[in-house]
Structure 1
Amino acid sequence: MRKTLFAAAACATVLWTGCSKSESVTVTIANPLAIERTGEMVEIPVNDIYTQLNLSDTAQFVIYDEKAQEVPYQLTYDEKVIFPVSIASKASVNYTVQQGTPSLVNAVVYGRCYPERLDDIAWENDRAAYRAYGPALQKSGEKAYGYDVFTKSVEELVVEDRYAMELDSASRAEIKALREAGKKEEADSLSRAISYHIDHGNGMDCYAVGPTLGGGTAALMPDSAIVYPYCYKDFEILDNGPLRFTVKLVFNPLVVKNDSNVVETRIIQLDKGSQLNKTTVSYEYLTQTTPVAAGLVLHAANPEGYAYDAAKGYISYADPTTNAEAGNGIVYVGAVFPASVQTTTQLFEKPVGDALGHVLGISTYEPGNDFVYYWGSGWSKYGFEKAEDWTNYLKDYAEKVRNPLVVTVQK
């Protein structure tokens, strides 16, 4: 297991009081909602911590909770310090920051590019795992526009081992030799043993994307028609654990009505403990206000399995997986919106394979601005027994996003 310095984060409203030098500072975090918030990330500009403590840029510090227990934190690419907090409803808690050497901890968030698997970008935390498809897949001609979901049922990092097992060259050579020798049963048995499409005890790849928005991809919708982004062109990993993964994806130019060189950029962020990825989308060289939507593909095995609520800010779907009769459970996918959206379904003129269309959350994109939303998944074999559990999670998540924790820093 990888070891690194603690770190973590989340959206917060920050109020500053006092700027004088001090050996320690107190961070007070208030919860304005009548619901408990457990393990939620907060973020504070790290330069303000350095200023409060009169530290050099290379100095280290430690964060303690009210029980004097050390709290993990991470310094992020955008110069924030992030750490997880737990607060009862309508309550507040204090954390103390002072100079010192933080402990080493196990990373629970990690991702990388997998050039050995057609340039996948795959990442995970302790709750879920995801991937975005890359230029090698696009070059192959396979149509896969949306985000993919890897289910998992353990807190440990598993994606690296899954790829290593699935792509093991020695096993693949042995499978080929067995088939050529007419030993189909033995070949099939070994193929199942290394396949990440089969649950070997920690989850699997059983979600179908195809030429759709998959598990929550955003797309422009001029004249109500989806302009599908293809695979990313360039990437940069900005944060890589232990508590937050952030990747920047830049896409090939799109034609959007009269604009022929629209370049989409996404910054995707996944924190420890969260089922959902915060995603910030922008479009360079787009000259006109255009509808933008986040979508979840609907499959024929469960055509009515969606739910949405524009007022509460979420869309949801219970996906029966690529082989519903194999006991793979249900993959729950969803998206949450900090700002108001319209929610609806849009079906294809005719099915694309077993894909019927999408459930959508639609907003308006103004050139030069960002479209921010959250998307992700849960699994019926890891904490979400039924669809109601998942929709309740999305409702609560949306309420938290719309009512951020209030953070005050003082000496």
Structure 2
Amino acid sequence: MKKLLLLCMTALFCFACNDSKTVTVTVTNPLAMERSNEMVEVSMETITNRLGLADTAQIVVLDADGQQVPYQITYDGKVIFPATIAANGAATYTIQTGTPEAFDVKACGKCYPERMDDMAWENDLVAFRAYGPALQAKGERGFGYDLFTKYNTTEPILEAMYAKELNKETRAKIAELKKTDPKAAAELSRERSYHIDHGYGMDCYAVGPTLGAGVAALMVNDSIIYPWCYKNQEILDNGPLRFTVKLEFTPLTVKGDSTVVETRLITLDAGSHLNRTAVSYSNLKETLPIVAGIVLHEPDGAVVADAANGYITYVDPTTGPDNGKIFMGAAVPTVVKDAKTVLFSEQEKKERNNADGHVLAVSDYEPGSEYVYYWGFAWDKADIKTADAWNRYMADFAQKVRNPLTIKVN
């Protein structure tokens, strides 16, 4: 009898020990729409404390079927993983000690000093760049974000595209061929250019001295204070599921004060068409309007400006007749006071490389706060084929960021 009691106590003890090495995360969806592969964040410190782990211990994340889910530990101490939750439903994930599988890199980026300090990043769907100090040193007004379309692959493509575009030997050969065989030079130039679609995507978007693909900017007396290129950059997360970069800018002159410094924290997650960006301004003395803006390349282009629901969209014609359409968008989780199209005067149009204006979402920025918004695009040659589908995506996305998933760690 004593032996049986001892065995039962031992079994209970082992069960308790095993149970103490498991944490469940319940994710609840408050909306009447499915949330598919949406990134969930849980404190890594909470996980290690509840599992009683050392900081160097390995973990795995499991779904309801016991299958491993890709995850990443971020620079700010979070475990992130994609979750799928039914409309008005809940899903439970398990975190425990174990050896994680190898995860494909879906979000990453780097700085390209050889291309005038471009900061370029991507995920499995979309790719972007912000212009850097070397470009500004040339006097170019690279205010806005640029983008690269992407299709036929979920793998990173930017590094290969930059390598081909910037190859010194190819450039030298093109220069020589121009003297003897201009046709061959032109063909070789097309082969190496990322402005030509070689089957995986391209740069077919015009930025110019505008807000481009979604830069945020302060306004004074209805005039946009255009930010120059970034001054300093620091990559904080570099995959496999999240890319995060911190950009700091040269001081702006705002209402005569030349000490206002802008900082942006840009985050792109796997599976999303949109970047999350938190913008802050140090030394700003008063509340001012702030806009999230998308450049217009047609005065009467297809625009949706929905202040009540917090999003804007625009169908961009791209830079060539065979490059399809780019569906642009931005969403703001907080109050949008106004959303509107603002066209340039004829004089300003000449100053901005013949762009026609912006579609703007207008909010207020309070000193000492962060302005958080989302911006990005889709391409009609990739996964979202029509403007109607994109507008539905943006309307749903705006609802999601205003109604976040709730997360309970058990």
TM-score normalized by the length of structure 2: 0.93
The corresponding residue for 1:303 is: 300
Query: Which secondary structure does the structure 2 equivalent of 1:104 belong to?
Result: coil
Which sits farther off after the overlay, 346-355 or 192-201? 346-355
1:335 pairs with one of 319, 330, 353: 330
Alignment check: 8 A CA contact 2:29 2:89 kept: yes
* Alpha-carbon distance between aligned partners in 2 of 1:357 and 1:308, rounded to the nearest angstrom: 14
The corresponding residue for 1:12 is: none
Kindly indicate which of the two structures has a greater share of residues assigned to strand. Answer: 1
Higher alpha-carbon Rg: 2
The corresponding residue for 2:117 is: 119
The corresponding residue for 2:379 is: 379
Amino acid at match of 1:370: E
Alignment check: 8 A CA contact 2:297 2:355 kept: yes
The corresponding residue for 2:407 is: 407
Query: Which secondary structure does the structure 2 equivalent of 1:221 belong to?
Result: strand
The corresponding residue for 2:14 is: none
Structure 2 unaligned spans of 5+: 1-18
Alignment check: 8 A CA contact 1:303 1:356 kept: no
Alignment check: 8 A CA contact 2:339 2:359 kept: yes
Percent identity, please.
Answer: 55
2:195 corresponds to 1:177:
no
The corresponding residue for 1:363 is: 363
* Alpha-carbon distance between aligned partners in 1 of 2:126 and 2:301, rounded to the nearest angstrom: 24
CA offsets 1:280-316 (integer angstroms, 9 cap, x no match):
000001111111101000013x632211111111011
Which sits farther off after the overlay, 100-109 or 88-97? 100-109
Query: Which secondary structure does the structure 2 equivalent of 1:162 belong to?
Result: helix
* Alpha-carbon distance between aligned partners in 2 of 1:267 and 1:141, rounded to the nearest angstrom: 25
The corresponding residue for 2:340 is: 344
* Alpha-carbon distance between aligned partners in 2 of 1:256 and 1:391, rounded to the nearest angstrom: 35
The corresponding residue for 2:100 is: 102
* Alpha-carbon distance between aligned partners in 2 of 1:220 and 1:64, rounded to the nearest angstrom: 44
Alignment check: 8 A CA contact 2:60 2:96 kept: yes
* Alpha-carbon distance between aligned partners in 2 of 1:59 and 1:290, rounded to the nearest angstrom: 47
* Alpha-carbon distance between aligned partners in 2 of 1:167 and 1:144, rounded to the nearest angstrom: 19
1:224 Cα offset (Å): 1.0
* Alpha-carbon distance between aligned partners in 1 of 2:179 and 2:42, rounded to the nearest angstrom: 60
The corresponding residue for 1:388 is: 388
2:258 corresponds to 1:265:
no
Q: How does 1:7-46 map to 2 (within 5 A)?
A: 22-46=20-44
Q: What value does the CA root-mean-square deviation take over the aligned residues? A: 1.0
* Alpha-carbon distance between aligned partners in 1 of 2:264 and 2:300, rounded to the nearest angstrom: 29
2:114 corresponds to 1:149:
no
Alignment check: 8 A CA contact 1:276 1:377 kept: yes
Alignment check: 8 A CA contact 1:35 1:89 kept: yes
* Alpha-carbon distance between aligned partners in 1 of 2:198 and 2:21, rounded to the nearest angstrom: 51
The corresponding residue for 1:320 is: 317
The corresponding residue for 2:86 is: 88
Q: Which has the higher contact order (CA 8 A, sep 6+)?
A: 1
TM-score normalized by the length of structure 1: 0.92
The corresponding residue for 1:162 is: 161
CA offsets 1:34-78 (integer angstroms, 9 cap, x no match):
101111001011100011111112212111100000111100011
Query: Which secondary structure does the structure 1 equivalent of 2:211 belong to?
Result: coil
* Alpha-carbon distance between aligned partners in 1 of 2:301 and 2:204, rounded to the nearest angstrom: 20
The corresponding residue for 2:242 is: 244
Query: Which secondary structure does the structure 1 equivalent of 2:214 belong to?
Result: strand
Alignment check: 8 A CA contact 2:28 2:88 kept: yes
1:126 Cα offset (Å): 0.2
Query: Which secondary structure does the structure 1 equivalent of 2:345 belong to?
Result: strand
Alignment check: 8 A CA contact 1:146 1:213 kept: yes
Query: Which secondary structure does the structure 1 equivalent of 2:356 belong to?
Result: strand
1:253 Cα offset (Å): 0.4
* Alpha-carbon distance between aligned partners in 2 of 1:79 and 1:222, rounded to the nearest angstrom: 38
Query: Which secondary structure does the structure 1 equivalent of 2:215 belong to?
Result: strand
1:346 Cα offset (Å): 1.4
* Alpha-carbon distance between aligned partners in 1 of 2:206 and 2:359, rounded to the nearest angstrom: 15
1:332 Cα offset (Å): 1.1
The corresponding residue for 2:4 is: none
* Alpha-carbon distance between aligned partners in 1 of 2:295 and 2:175, rounded to the nearest angstrom: 35
1:353 Cα offset (Å): 2.5
* Alpha-carbon distance between aligned partners in 2 of 1:305 and 1:173, rounded to the nearest angstrom: 43
* Alpha-carbon distance between aligned partners in 2 of 1:117 and 1:159, rounded to the nearest angstrom: 12
* Alpha-carbon distance between aligned partners in 1 of 2:271 and 2:339, rounded to the nearest angstrom: 27
Alignment check: 8 A CA contact 2:209 2:353 kept: no
Moved over 2 A (4+): none
The corresponding residue for 1:13 is: none
1:221 Cα offset (Å): 0.4
1:147 Cα offset (Å): 0.3
Kindly indicate which of the two structures has a greater share of residues assigned to helix. Answer: 2
Query: Which secondary structure does the structure 2 equivalent of 1:214 belong to?
Result: coil
Amino acid at match of 1:160: E
The corresponding residue for 2:6 is: none
* Alpha-carbon distance between aligned partners in 2 of 1:80 and 1:337, rounded to the nearest angstrom: 23
